[in-house]
């Protein structure tokens, strides 16, 4: 929203009218939460993800949910007929949903100014081009300039613009990171193509927090919301197998229970393998070193595989204790008590450290029927009110978890 040179003057906050900052709620709860409470007028939102992950489907379902909102869907990827087929498959009920097959951004914007949609969707930015630029669609210059023009349109018209961007092999959206600076919000749609779960997260959001995630499941009827991710993430857990432990993490404001799996086996390599999926590699090496040094668990000559079930990536250390205990369980080949949930960060000395918001985590674990919850001792006080009649153990050394679990 560029100021008009020479026309602006300083204003007190009270003089600034922000009542126009209304949002359009998509009606898809998981989506609205990640957006920070709906779509902000005049914002430009990049939706990134691997090809085939479900970006177009998500946009289409948003359009379906916004029944009375006027939507213009511009596709440079699929023909209008293909889009109609997909819309029919998804049971499109929005009668004010229009499709435009066009890749020239200037033409797209001319059409948008005439059509006057409430929401504009561009699928995908890699197919768009500006005639004044020589390079091919998808190149850095084209992607940047096309986005800049769409940005201008969003800001001047107040129409929110969704821009789909495929993640390139280097892992960044639209190749260069430049786009992320231009747009207001960057949503990443993640998941394994071979798994049904899809996680939507905000990597950047000028209009909300970046901590929230939305969880979906891809089905033959499109993306389904998963309002209780814990149940899903734990659903395939097999009681009684070694190397499986449950922890409670926080994704934004929501606690999520998940299964940590470890497999420790004799190595046939000079450099034993360390394959970690869903958690920081170096942090995991630290945890293995702590186990070896503080508990005398000899794993330096073993291959260690660690996996966070369900395809989540965890970026908080509260899962440390669960990872360590999954490793011990697999190393000993003794299953951990399946009704136990572990929460705690581990320090280099083998001490168990407090985690933020223990109440929410413990509540979720109790809700899902876990009967024994192991938490950092330093967190016990905060849990005072919920410990009555419940088996909640506070520990301050990692070795104590081993004694309690096995
Ligand atoms: P799509 O939205 O086309 O992915 P993107 O736009 O990110 O490239 O979705 C791709 C996959 O989703 C495709 O392989 C088919 C699958 N899919 C379903 O399983 N069910 C459905 O209802 C739809 C529409 C797609
Ligand atoms: Mg697509």
pLDDT digits (tens, 9 = 90+) for 68-121: 999 999 999 999 999 999 999 999 989 999 999 999 999 999 999 999 999 999
Tell the residue nearest (CA) to atom 22 of ligand 1: 222
In the chain, CATH 3.30.230.10 covers 232-405
Gap from CA of 259 to ligand 2 centroid (Å): 31
Tell the residue nearest (CA) to atom 16 of ligand 1: 54
Tell me the average pLDDT across 217-227. 91
Closest of 270, 274, 251, 254 to residue 262, by C-alpha: 274
Q: What pLDDT does 328 receive? A: 97
Read off the pLDDT band of 1 (50, 70, 90): very low
E strands, 105-211, where?
Answer: 119-123, 161-166, 185-190, 197-205
pLDDT at 392 over 80: yes
Q: Are 237 and 328 in contact (CB under 8 A)?
A: no
Gap from CA of 35 to ligand 1 centroid (Å): 21
pLDDT digits (tens, 9 = 90+) for 148-166: 999 999 999 999 999 999 8
Q: Which ligand is nearest to the CA of 49?
A: 1
pLDDT at 251 over 90: no
Q: What pLDDT does 361 receive? A: 95
Ligand 1 atom nearest to 55, measured from its CA: 7
Gap from CA of 233 to ligand 1 centroid (Å): 22
pLDDT at 269 over 90: no
From CA 321, how far away is CA 202, in angstroms rounded? 27
Read off the pLDDT band of 54 (50, 70, 90): very high
Class of domain 16-227: alpha beta
- Domain 232-405 is of which CATH architecture? 2-Layer Sandwich (3.30)
Q: Which ligand is nearest to the CA of 47?
A: 1
Q: Are 111 and 84 in contact (CB under 8 A)?
A: no
Calculate helix-pair angle for 55-65, 80-89, nearest 10 degrees: 70
Gap from CA of 125 to ligand 1 centroid (Å): 18
Q: What pLDDT does 170 receive? A: 61
Cross-strand bridge partners of residue 254: 251
In the chain, CATH 3.40.50.300 covers 16-227
Which residue among 48, 57, 87 has the greatest number of ligand 1 atoms within 8 angstroms of its CB, and so is best to mutate? 57
From CA 395, how far away is CA 404, in angstroms rounded? 10
Position with higher pLDDT, 173 vs 182: 182
Cross-strand bridge partners of residue 255: 250
Q: Which ligand is nearest to the CA of 52?
A: 1
Tell me the average pLDDT across 168-189. 75
Q: Which two tokens stand for residue 83?
A: 């889009």
From CA 406, how far away is CA 400, in angstroms rounded? 10
pLDDT digits (tens, 9 = 90+) for 121-136: 999 999 999 999 888 8
Pocket of ligand 1 (CB under 6 A): 49, 51-57, 86, 89-90, 218, 220-222
Gap from CA of 77 to ligand 2 centroid (Å): 7
Ligand 1 atom nearest to 220, measured from its CA: 20
Ligand 1 atom nearest to 57, measured from its CA: 2
């Amino acid at each position: 929203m560029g100021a008009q040179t020479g026309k602006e003057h300083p204003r007190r906050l009270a003089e600034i009218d922000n009542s126009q900052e209304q949002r359009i709620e998509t009606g898809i709860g998981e989506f609205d939460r990640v957006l920070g409470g709906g779509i902000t007028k005049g914002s430009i939102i990049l939706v990134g993800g691997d090809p085939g992950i479900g970006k177009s489907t998500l946009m289409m379902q948003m359009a379906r949910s916004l029944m009375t909102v006027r939507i213009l869907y511009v596709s440079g990827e699929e023909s209008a007929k293909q889009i109609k087929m997909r819309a029919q498959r998804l049971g499109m009920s929005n009668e004010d949903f229009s499709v435009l097959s066009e890749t020239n951004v200037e033409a797209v914007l001319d059409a948008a100014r005439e059509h006057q949609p409430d929401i504009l969707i561009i699928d995908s930015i890699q197919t768009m081009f500006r005639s004044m630029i020589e390079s091919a669609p998808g190149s850095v210059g084209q992607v940047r300039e096309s986005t800049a023009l769409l940005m201008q349109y969003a800001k001047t018209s107040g129409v929110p613009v969704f821009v789909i961007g495929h993640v390139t092999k280097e892992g960044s959206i639209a190749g260069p990171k430049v786009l992320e600076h231009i747009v207001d919000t960057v949503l990443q749609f993640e998941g394994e193509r071979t798994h049904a779960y899809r996680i939507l997260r905000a990597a950047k959001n000028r209009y909300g927090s970046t901590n929230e995630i939305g969880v979906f499941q891809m089905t033959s009827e499109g993306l389904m919301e998963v309002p209780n991710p814990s149940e899903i993430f734990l659903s395939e857990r097999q009681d009684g197998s070694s190397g499986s432990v449950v922890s409670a993490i926080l994704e934004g404001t929501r606690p999520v229970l998940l299964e940590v799996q470890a497999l420790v086996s004799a190595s046939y390599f000079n450099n034993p393998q360390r394959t970690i999926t869903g958690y920081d590699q170096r942090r995991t090496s630290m945890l293995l070193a702590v186990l070896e040094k503080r508990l005398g668990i000899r794993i330096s000559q073993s291959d260690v595989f660690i996996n966070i079930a369900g395809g989540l990536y965890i970026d908080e250390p509260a899962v440390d204790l669960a990872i360590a205990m999954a490793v011990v369980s697999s190393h000993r080949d003794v299953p951990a008590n399946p009704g136990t949930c572990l929460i705690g960060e581990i320090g280099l000395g083998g001490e168990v450290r407090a985690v933020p918001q223990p109440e929410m985590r413990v509540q979720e674990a109790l809700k899902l029927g876990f009967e024994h919850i192991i938490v950092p001792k330093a967190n016990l006080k905060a849990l005072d009110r919920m410990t009555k009649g419940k088996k909640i153990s506070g520990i301050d050394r990692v070795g104590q978890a081993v004694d309690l679990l096995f």
